[in-house]
Amino acid sequence: MRLVTLEPKGDVIFVGDTHGDLEASKRVISKYMKRDNKIVFLGDYVDRGEYSKENIDFLLELRKQNPKRIYLLLGNHDAYGILRCHPANFWESLGKDKQKYLAYSKNFLWQFLLVR
C-alpha cells in the first residue's frame, strides 16, 4: 500500500469517477487549479463516456506537468489490464491495437501507482 502525503497548504479537492467525461475533468481543473490547491482524482477515468482516451490523456499529461498538485488514484476501470470490469468499451477498442493496449495498461497506468 502506498500513502499519499499532502502539504498542509491550500485545499484538497477530491473528484470522483469522470468515466470519459473530458469536459467535466476540464471544468474541475479550470475551477479548482488555484495556487495552493491539490486535486485528487479517485479513479475510473475511462469507459462509459464518449471521450475516454482524451480524458485519460488529458489527466496523465496534467499530472506529468503538476506532480505535486495532481494525484491520480487507480480505479477498477483504469486497471483493466489487472482486473477485468464491465463495461470496458475503452479497453476493448484498444484491444484491436495491441501496441496501444500495452502502452496504456503497462506504461501509463503504472504512473497511477507511482504516487510521489
* Active site positions, annotated: 77
Say which DSSP state 47 is in.
S
DSSP state of 65: H
Three-state DSSP state, 93? helix
Q: Please check whether residue 102 is in contact with residue 58, taking contact to mean a CB–CB distance below 8 angstroms.
A: no
